Structure 1
């Protein structure tokens, strides 16, 4: 695994003096470039030097002369300086000749021209350049970013690259350092800060997003060192993603203990961000005692996360659980089978109801309940058997919210519960 540095050069008109730097308690004296101190400290395998046509390529020339122990030439220095000092955002890259540098440049260095970023198109080109650099890296690497010099906008580019590596690239590359030399502190030596904490914050915020939107704790667990906590969060995500609702309900109680443990960790970022996100998630489902209401809330949550098929499947189970809770006492394998049998008997018999009974408002409610159950079963069969009959995904998706509201009302209707109880007595042996 190689160490890769991306660093930018400042403007040619700036007067860069030699500076003493400190990195992780070690001091590096008389360095004109932060790059010199960084490379001496980390010994990078590859360094990408980014600059515009007007960057301080002259000073970089002196740096390379020192690195290669090549005597610097005043003529070469002035040749580069004259080009860069007169260049601007309209100067073409081909008009800046860096041959005094490239002739002695070690293989570990790669020079890249960036645009000034004065338009949206140029900003996109700069970002694309940085992405191409990371895409062309082979194998796995530790990547370091230097934000000290160059335009202030370079910091945003670098952070975009950081997010690209973390979330998009799909590799095992990792951001190990985000450096900034704090010259404005006027401290001697100048501290070089590692802002990797921003990468950690970014990952945690993404993890919070995944919890809120998907109920997944996988991203968060990457930032947690405690193995027991990691396993509990991963197990909860696994149960939720495979829709093992019984396990989900049982593991919800474990999350309270996880929150308590997280608050006692030594990582202030974890303490600040993660417990709050877990509490917000728990609040959706805490204190729900009945199984059918719990399942209906899970169905609603799946719908909000656009997991429409799982929402329908869970909605169907909520109806079955309603019959178990109300009329069979508990949810067991045998009771689930009996509840589904009773629902099917209701479905087969309600059409033969006499005209007088059909005037009962509760009959209409039963009709509505069975209609939703049939739709859930139809959706389930289409998913299981890859049905190719004419379907209408748009309507089926739009109806989920309506069905959940209707079931929520029916589940709380005591008169309706008594009506169903009386009808179900006809099916008892």
Structure 2
């Protein structure tokens, strides 16, 4: 058999990636995230206008979403690994949808705060279930590729949701934004209901232990991912203010370029992960991330400012699927929910701490350049940790891949 025929035969033997379940859960995940991102830019305006409150109070209420998501992550992994996944996914998605109604229905700000917290909590469980159902649908030999493609559902929502929400709000007001978010979530619920997931087998209950809530085998990945999230936290909240300090207009393009870098790299990264380049790809992403933040911290012109955005997206396109694949490959089959919640918890903790520290630093220095320089230094530490600890730990302890 010639080399060409051999390659063709091998490619034909590959198990399918785009199965009905995988496509369905990716579409449902996109709708979950799009409905959230669509609301994100208009919610502060809605709260201030409806409840006649100040920016600080609105900011506290908005942050309760992240606190709710973070609070449930360890328990989300335990629930996903313990209960039947389809009912858990459906009912937490349903509760997530109901919270959109709550925003419009409540008239007391304390109750709104509770709704916001619950929204984050149900999002945390639902998104963990979504990631786990997607991984269950993937053949092990194409897991990296599948995780890369699945992540695009989030990146597309990130790229299009805020822009759509702001356009609708400016053109028609807040009510249409809530209605569309609810309608999209209902479509997502219908998709979830059509998933073909075998009922969970009844097994003797294993004794409770830490690794049922947190994947202790993935501590190095968890720590490294906190650093990555810490650097990205100030980007989510303060990039528009930094652009204003630099006299750069069109800061919205910064996020679009991040999304473009993410999507382009995710498409290519997955296949390379499955071919055995996981360690090298994540290492390249970590180092590229350091360079991107130093360029951002030293920017004085639009060119370097927007180049940094694309490089941040490109580096994260290597890092995201890489760390998630590591966590899943370090876990037993019955720990996939815990693996995903551990991975997502590192990101949540990093984002939250980065926003808090970044805000305090900006207040102290009176500008944001020092904030992004501190992020670059934090990523240098993460880069060193990756090559001296995290990568070696993975190669020694992985169960799959």
Give TM class, smaller chain.
under 0.3
Which one has a larger percent helix, Structure 1 or Structure 2? 2
Larger Rg: 1
* TM-score, reference length from structure 1: 0.20
Which one has a larger percent strand, Structure 1 or Structure 2? 1
* TM-score, reference length from structure 2: 0.21
